[in-house]
């Protein structure tokens, strides 16, 4: 399977077109089956399966972004391509993102590698014949980067791809407070506030909350939400402590599994702080920076009503090509 370089069509050069149009033109998802994993702390994780893992030579483990799910446009497209290539895949839902509220006051966050570790351990135990590949988008990409850097040679993942990951959380939070990007922040914060309100209504969070129900509506930025909600619920001293400890950037140098990291320089969720230099990545990291592409976009053809994408063919190519070839790949295009 030949890989083509990324070049956006004239009508999709704007980063917001790249970011928003995919949401408006979702493809159909192949049929999935759901499995629930019970966790040691009394909570659960839902997995959505494509194919039969019992006879699979490999399993593609997919991690969605903030408030995403197997219904997200980028997940649907990757599942469709996995299905086309006969690959078994499973979507790991972060807590509370599978359509049913999680049971505990805590939820998920950008640096939470324990839940994906539990999922991977389950897969390794029950399907030992299968090699595990992983794809992480946005927040899921940051979690995947951190997991790979933490585990290093103990990682159960054979190959990985990280897409549009906010590897420097503080810088990305500040970026979303400026210009058109504030609309993305508004949309995501509204979803997070709605979930928080739901936890208050069901008394899931009352005894552990650091805000009152009336204060929820005052949380209008990621800095405010993460300082008042995310950090205290997950054991951090505050937003700065959370952003410092949860950011995946410093873990790029520790990864020792073949890993492709894809960023767009015009990503409206990020700034140049997420772009590493060569000496900030390990030899096993292939870093691919494009001048255009938006946030989890990378439309490279088709039409506005039926866009064609670079991402899926690039991901499948990297996960399935010979390792000797993969180790020589390092491109910066745009």
Question: What number of other Cβ atoms are within 10 A of residue 174's Cβ?
Answer: 16
* Cβ neighbours of 187 (radius 10 Å): 10
Q: How far is CA 11 from CA 17, 301, 304, in A?
A: 8, 9, 8
* Distance separating alpha carbons of residues 128 and 117, to the nearest angstrom: 15
Provide the pLDDT for residue 174.
96
135: left (phi over 0), alpha (psi -120 to 50) or beta: beta
d(CA 294, CA 265): 8
Q: In this predicted model, what pLDDT tens digit does every residue of 132-152 receive, in sequence order? A: 999 999 999 999 999 999 999
pLDDT digit string (tens) for 27-62? Answer: 999 999 999 999 999 999 999 999 999 999 999 999
Confidence tier at 252 by pLDDT (50, 70, 90): very high
**295 is known as an active-site residue:** yes
Catalytic one of 58, 295, 300, 317: 295
Rounded CA separation 255/249 (Å): 11
Share of the chain above pLDDT 70, in %: 94
Confidence bin at 208 (pLDDT 50/70/90): confident
Query: 332: which DSSP letter?
Result: B
- The span from the CA of 71 to the CA of 99, in Å, is 10
Specify whether 303 is catalytic: no
Q: Which of 302, 297, 301 is nearest to 21 (CA)?
A: 297
CA gap 111, 85 in Å, rounded: 32
pLDDT at 4: 56
CB burial string 57-74: b at 16+ within 10 A, e below = ebbbbbbbbbbbbbbbbb
Three-class SS of residue 260?
strand
Q: Which of 72, 110, 138, 164 is catalytic?
A: 138
pLDDT in the model for residue 201: 84
What is the spatial distance between Cα 209 and Cα 212, in angstroms, rounded to a whole number? 7
- pLDDT tens, position by position, 263-298: 999 999 999 999 999 999 999 999 999 999 999 999
Residue 211: pLDDT band (50, 70, 90) is: confident
* Residue carrying the six token digits 């083509």: 4
Active site residue 227: no
Ordered by start, the domain boundaries in the chain are 10-168+248-326, 169-246
CATH of domain 10-168+248-326: 3.40.50.1820
Question: Across 154-227, where does the E strand assignment appear?
Answer: 157-163
Mean pLDDT for 231-251 is 96
- Cα angle, residue 97 at apex, residues 155 and 244 outer, rounded to 5°: 55
Strand 285-290 relative to strand 88-92, pairing? unpaired
Contact 26, 301 (CB under 8 A): no
Closest CA to 265 of 295, 286, 285, 243: 295
pLDDT confidence of residue 301: 96
Question: How far apart, in Å, do the first and last CA atoms of the chain sit?
Answer: 22
Catalytic residue (one of 266, 267, 284, 300): 267
- Tokens (6 digits) for 68: 């995403």
Rounded distance between C-alpha atoms, residue 138 and residue 176, angstroms: 14
**Which positions ≥6 away from 46 have C-beta within 8 Å?**
34, 35, 36, 37, 93, 98, 100
Q: What is the mean pLDDT of residues 172-197?
A: 95
Residue located via tokens 């970011």 = 19
Per residue in 70-128, pLDDT tens? 999 999 999 999 999 999 999 999 999 999 999 998 999 999 999 999 999 999 999 99
């Amino acid at each position: 399977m030949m890989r083509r370089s990324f070049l956006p069509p004239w009508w999709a050069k704007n980063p917001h077109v790249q970011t928003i149009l995919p949401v408006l033109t979702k493809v159909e998802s192949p049929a999935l089956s759901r499995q629930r994993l019970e966790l040691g702390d009394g909570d659960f994780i839902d997995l959505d399966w494509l194919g039969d893992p019992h006879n699979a030579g490999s399993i593609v483990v997919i991690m969605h972004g903030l408030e995403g799910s197997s219904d997200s446009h980028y997940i649907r497209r990757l599942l469709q391509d996995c299905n086309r290539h006969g690959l078994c895949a499973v979507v790991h839902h972060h807590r509370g993102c599978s359509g049913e509220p999680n049971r505990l006051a805590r939820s998920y966050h950008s640096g939470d590698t324990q839940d994906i570790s539990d999922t991977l351990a389950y897969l390794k135990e029950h399907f030992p014949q299968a090699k595990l590949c992983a794809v992480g988008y946005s927040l899921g990409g940051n979690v995947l980067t951190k997991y790979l850097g933490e585990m290093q040679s103990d990682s159960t993942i054979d190959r990985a791809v990280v897409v549009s990951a906010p590897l420097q959380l503080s810088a990305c939070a500040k970026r979303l407070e400026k210009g058109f990007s504030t609309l993305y922040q508004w949309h995501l914060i509204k979803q997070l506030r709605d979930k928080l309100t739901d936890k208050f209504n069901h008394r899931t969070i009352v005894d552990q909350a650091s805000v009152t129900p009336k204060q929820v509506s005052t949380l209008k930025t990621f800095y405010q939400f993460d300082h008042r909600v995310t950090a205290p619920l997950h054991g951090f001293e505050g937003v700065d402590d959370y952003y410092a400890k949860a950011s995946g950037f410093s873990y790029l140098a520790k990864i020792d599994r073949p890993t492709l990291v894809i960023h767009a320089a015009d990503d409206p969720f990020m700034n140049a702080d997420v772009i590493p230099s060569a000496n900030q990545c390990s030899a096993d990291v292939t870093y691919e920076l494009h001048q255009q592409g938006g946030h989890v976009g990378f439309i490279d053809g088709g039409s506005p009503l039926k866009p064609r994408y670079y991402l899926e063919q690039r991901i499948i190519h990297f996960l399935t090509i010979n390792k000797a070839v993969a180790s020589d790949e390092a491109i910066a295009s745009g």
